[in-house]
Amino acid sequence: MSHFWKPGTEKPRIVDDEEGGVLFLSTAASSSSSSGFGYGSMEKQRQRLPVYKYRTAILYLVETHATSIIVGETGSGKTTQIPQYLKEAGWADGGRVIACTQPRRLAVQSVAARVAEEMGVKLGEEVGYTIRFEDLTNTNTTMIKFLTDGVLLREMMDDPLLTKYSVIMVDEAHERSISTDILLGLLKKIQRRRPELRLIISSATIEAKSMSAFFQTSKRRRLEGEELGPRMEPAILSVEGRGFNVQIHFAEEPVSDYVQAVVSTVLSIHNQEPMGDILVFLTGQDDIDTAVKLLNEEAQSNGKNSSGLLVLPLYSGLPRAEQELIFTPTPRGKRKVVISTNIAETSLTLEGIVYVVDSGFSKQRFYNPISDIENLVVAPISKASARQRAGRAGRVRPGKCYRLYTEEYFVNEMSAEGIPEMQRSNLVSCVIQLKALGIDNILGFDWPASPSPEAMIRALEVLYSLGVLDDDAKLTSPAGFQVAEIPLEPMISKMILSSNELGCSEEILTIAAILSIQSIWVSGRGVQKELDEAKLRFAAAEGDHVTFLNVYKGFLQSGKSSQWCHKNHVNYQAMKKVIEIRGQLRRIAQRLGIVLKSCEGDMKAVRKAVTAGFFANACRLEAFSHSGMYKTVRGSQEVYIHPSSVLFRVNPKWVIFHSLVSTDRQYMRNVISIDPSWLREAAPHFYQHQPHNAIGH
């Protein structure tokens, strides 16, 4: 490997900071040469990005340090530029690959497309991406590969040392997603075995020092003859952004309906403020669709106030065509309003944003190991997130941020930082992945942030009951290895395995595919009545899973028609995705030796297979409860059937749910009725300590 600056040019100045890491000052900023790129404005655009001044510095650090930590404001060019610099410097020579991970699928697709465009190549060749169920790479030609951190973890199952990668850039590390944290722990191990591997940890805001401390391996003495290897202590580089000033406006009174508040704030910006696009942060698809709809209605009914508004949603799962709209320049005389989840907080950069409206909330996962309940909750964001969101307004010129919460709330009640996902998640998936990678002592694993022992024990318990771990907490063979190999949550994987014995694998694969996407229905405020009517056409007394089978059948019988979908309030894009995912699951199932077979309408078999995977989510209707209150069999938590379920108000005595969402109450989403005797059959260990009448007959 050659060094990246030429003899004779001044070496960049390096200053050791007191932590023992290396701080890099950009004195040699202009000496970089991106030789060979003479063309057009794209190249000029690249050179205007803040990170460009640090090109040489970054390449030097990567050359000389095993781990480099790069901090830089959103939009400074970290994600799109650094992989290209590495490629230009030769890190992808000789068939090696540069990897860049993202926590979010949508970000993977979007940045990969952008980098392919900048390099003037077809996406899927020199530049490719892989997300779950979608691989757009070419083994022979791909040099830069974007992928989710979860996919990279899966790749370790086949190639534990990730040998094809020369550099792995773990991006958006400040998000502290559960997969990022697992990945960091494992990469640290890999580094010991592969000193030539380089890591870049990059993020918008990061506790650079604690990250650096995590990767500090100075305890390890250098062996003789090893002098030429990279330095083991991490380097830290901070890319100076060039954000403009953002004026902050707080709400004077607490806001009760933030969707409504978003709509009126957007309209008043539009009426009173000079041109410039608006970025709104809401929590999820439901909120966002509602706000988009309300704003569009406003535009139609009240032309004067809202003409010229171009309102676009942004959330993961958005079809590609709609994603592209977000990134196209705003037409003249129009004002773009992008209504987004926190994906636009740091993962994606939108050009032209001058105004930000911050609801102060995001959807977050929370897990309680005592009740063993995990759900998605709309929860307040942290101060760090609020600052990031505001920063989005100052990219092109001074901007304004409207916070839909009071200053007092911000100062006194908002927490400073978010909690790593690892510490607020159910760890079932995490544990099985580590086990599959041969990490046996999970409690002793070197985590960037330790998960709670209670959550760990709960996960081990569930996996044991699923028959995935044996008495020594080792993966069972073949079930454990098979469950680990299917890229779905272990409970779904177990359900698929069980469908083999029950003779209903075709049906269960359909259900698994549908459960792995957000929703197959077209949602939104105002269409609720028609949607409910449409659902009735497919509704099955057994519950939502069986209803899905009816929808799928109808879709196939229509010849996969988009008109059919439209007529039935079924999301056509979602159904196409279901067909694709189902096809892939079918291939995986065949590889695992599962016999593809339909139960020809025997729904008892289907319900038993669901029970075999999801027995831990069993609930019983409270006797004499007219409110439809259920209690979970383990933990006795109060839960209710979600209004979107076909079993809402039907209230069968025993049900199993797929997931919980919590608003005013804990609601079960995707519910199926069962016979309680199946529970002990499916998981004798799990239910053995229940008093007999708790799962009585």
Name the site residues for Mg ion (rule: CB under 5 A).
79
Pick one of 137, 349, 465, 645: the residue that binds ligand CDP (CB under 6 A): 349
- State the Cα–Cα distance between residues 281 and 356, nearest whole angstrom: 8
Smallest gap from Cβ 78 to ligand CDP, in A, equals 3
Contact 331, 343 (CB under 8 A): no
666 binds, among ligand CDP, Mg ion, none (CB under 5 to 8 A by kind): none
The residue ranges of DSSP E strands in 470-568, in sequence order, are none
79 or 205, CB closer to Mg ion? 79
Question: Is 154 an interacting residue with respect to ligand CDP (CB under 6 A)?
Answer: no
Phi, psi of 499 (to 5 degrees): -65, -20
Contact 170, 149 (CB under 8 A): yes
**Which single residue is written with the structure tokens 């996902």?**
421
- State the Cα–Cα distance between residues 461 and 473, nearest whole angstrom: 9
Spatial CB neighbours of 56, under 8 Å, sequence gap ≥ 6: 4, 5, 12, 28, 29, 31, 32
Q: Comparing C-alpha atoms, which of 374, 378, 373 is closest to residue 361? A: 378
79 or 180, CB closer to Mg ion? 79
Pick one of 26, 56, 67, 74: the residue that binds ligand CDP (CB under 6 A): 74
Smallest gap from Cβ 401 to ligand CDP, in A, equals 18
114 or 198, CB closer to ligand CDP? 114
- What is 445-478 written as a DSSP string? S--SSPPPHHHHHHHHHHHHHTTSB-TTS-B-TT
327 binds, among ligand CDP, Mg ion, none (CB under 5 to 8 A by kind): ligand CDP
- State the Cα–Cα distance between residues 524 and 290, nearest whole angstrom: 5
Paired tokens of 196: 């030539």
Q: Comparing C-alpha atoms, which of 641, 631, 640 is closest to residue 694? A: 631
82 or 436, CB closer to ligand CDP? 82
Helix H or strand E segment including 591: helix 572-591
Pick one of 22, 49, 295, 646: the residue that binds ligand CDP (CB under 6 A): 49
236 - beta bridge partners? Answer: 23, 69
Paired tokens of 331: 């037409």
Contact letters for ligand CDP, residues 85-124 (x by CB under 6 A)? -------------------------xx--x----------
65 or 104, CB closer to Mg ion? 104
128 binds, among ligand CDP, Mg ion, none (CB under 5 to 8 A by kind): none
79 or 166, CB closer to Mg ion? 79
79 or 568, CB closer to ligand CDP? 79
Smallest gap from Cβ 234 to ligand CDP, in A, equals 19
| Residue 567: C-alpha distances to residues 129, 321, 544 (Å) | 35, 22, 20
Contact 547, 646 (CB under 8 A): yes
- State the Cα–Cα distance between residues 110 and 130, nearest whole angstrom: 12
Question: Is 327 an interacting residue with respect to ligand CDP (CB under 6 A)?
Answer: yes
Residue type present at position 586:
R
Question: Is 78 an interacting residue with respect to ligand CDP (CB under 6 A)?
Answer: yes
Helix H or strand E segment including 669: strand 666-673
Smallest gap from Cβ 171 to ligand CDP, in A, equals 7
651 binds, among Mg ion, ligand CDP, none (CB under 5 to 8 A by kind): none
64 or 316, CB closer to Mg ion? 316
Question: Is 79 an interacting residue with respect to ligand CDP (CB under 6 A)?
Answer: yes
Which residue lies nearest Mg ion, judged by its C-beta? 79
Size of the site for ligand CDP (CB under 6 A): 16
Question: Is 68 an interacting residue with respect to ligand CDP (CB under 6 A)?
Answer: no
Q: Comparing C-alpha atoms, which of 294, 299, 338, 285 is closest to residue 522? A: 285
Scanning 78-86, 230-238, 401-409, 617-625 for contacts with ligand CDP by CB under 6 A, the matching segment is: 78-86
37 binds, among ligand CDP, Mg ion, none (CB under 5 to 8 A by kind): none
49 binds, among Mg ion, ligand CDP, none (CB under 5 to 8 A by kind): ligand CDP
Residues forming the site for ligand CDP (CB under 6 A): 49, 72, 74-81, 110-111, 114, 327, 349, 351
